[in-house]
Amino acid sequence: MPDGEKRPTVTMLSAVSEVRAAEWDACAGTNNPFIRHAFLDAMERSGSACARTGWLPRHLLVRDGEGRLLAAAPLYLKSHSFGEYVFDWSWAQAYERAGGKYYPKLQCAVPFTPVTGPRLLIRPGEDAAMLRRVLAASMVDLARRSGASSVHVTFPAETEYEDLGEAGYLRRLGSQYHWCNRGYQSFGDFLGQLSSRKRKQIRKERDAVARSGVSLSTLVGGDVKARHWDVFHAFYQATVDRKWGRAYVNRAFFEELSASALADSVVLVWAEQDGEPLGAAFNMLGDDTLYGRTWGGGRHVDFLHFEACYYRALDFAIAHNLARVEAGAQGEHKVSRGYLPVATYSAHWIADPGLAEPVARYLAHERTLVAEDIAEQAEEGPFRKG
């Protein structure tokens, strides 16, 4: 840093609303809606991500000597490992069996959202490598001062993953299934690239839904009304209950989102029959990507889930010339429907060497297995060979 220039200062927020949206978004950018101020604020204002739910905001800001915001990180002090999609339950159990205290921990993430994107948010034109080092060190310092066992940065961009590794964080590799637009002009163009067996299966599934009498529509932005959210949230809650899961977001979150600067990014695929709602798929729209987030359904209809969550998403992406569709976590069944495996990343700092060392050995082995699995699934994908 040049002589006489003030060092950046790091401050902590107890809510994202404590920083102006324009400042935060100048670092976050517009491509990925989930790191935008409006999305995080909706999570917090609705009470979906707050101290009561085990997500205590501890966001970090880095400012220059003139007070200008240079960088930020969405950060939470957590009392559990729910809603993260990068699983560390076994680490916690092993540590606590050995007499350690795994919680609280710090989580640099978007709550309940397994979407890759920037986590160390840097204003364009600034020294990104230096500011990532500042944020990486500041999270460790906050963990020590807070009595947290560890820091976890989940679903960062690959460059952040590499930089965090250089800063001493342990690196973890995962995978998801994404669909890439190869310049398709129609859904038929996409089907034409698949093997005959996969093409026939998708046509069979779509035809079955069409013959069932179910009507589907795609609602965008202002098309989504309070009545849609009422029904969707009830479906979402019922779906979670059937799977013995946990409802991470409440009804108020969707209301906050629809009233925010991200209202036009909402894409809801709506299914009904004879005026009776049957289910809906909630998506968010980025600059070049459609992100599938959550499905909620009532009465079962064969293949309706695939139609609403996967095929209608592809229809939308092709019509709007989007580069990709990200369909969320897990689900090898997505491969046969054109969603291929891609790498996802996380980085972890663990204070106690007695835990950090065995975790590091495990992650080295896991990275090899995950990379091999991604390569094998991609090779066996549904597309025609040659």
User: Is position 385 within any domain?
Assistant: no
150 vs 103: CA distance, rounded Å: 9
Give residue 189's domain range.
182-322
Provide the CATH number for the domain around residue 220.
3.40.630.30
Domain count, the chain: 2
Burial 317-338 (b: 16+ CB within 10 A, else e): bbeeebebbbbbbeeeebbbbb
Judgement on whether residues 304 and 358 belong to the same structural domain of the protein: no
User: Is position 2 within any domain?
Assistant: no
Judgement on whether residues 158 and 186 belong to the same structural domain of the protein: no
Judgement on whether residues 309 and 244 belong to the same structural domain of the protein: yes
91-132 tens-digit pLDDT:
999 999 999 999 999 999 999 999 999 999 999 999 999 999
Tokens 């894409």 map to which residue? 267
Judgement on whether residues 43 and 104 belong to the same structural domain of the protein: yes
Judgement on whether residues 135 and 200 belong to the same structural domain of the protein: no
Judgement on whether residues 105 and 202 belong to the same structural domain of the protein: no
Q: Which of 275, 292, 322 is the last residue of a domain?
A: 322
Judgement on whether residues 156 and 191 belong to the same structural domain of the protein: no
User: Is position 334 within any domain?
Assistant: no
User: Is position 153 within any domain?
Assistant: yes
**Would you write out the chain's pLDDT as a tens digit for each of its 386 residues?**
444 456 799 999 999 999 999 999 999 999 999 999 999 999 999 999 999 999 999 999 999 999 999 999 999 999 999 999 999 999 999 999 999 999 999 999 999 999 999 999 999 999 999 999 999 999 999 999 999 999 999 999 999 999 999 999 999 999 999 999 999 999 999 999 999 999 999 999 999 999 999 999 999 999 999 999 999 999 999 888 876 577 899 999 999 999 999 999 999 999 999 999 999 999 999 999 999 999 888 888 999 999 999 999 999 999 999 999 998 777 778 898 999 999 999 999 999 999 999 999 999 999 999 999 999 998 888 998 86
User: Is position 337 within any domain?
Assistant: no
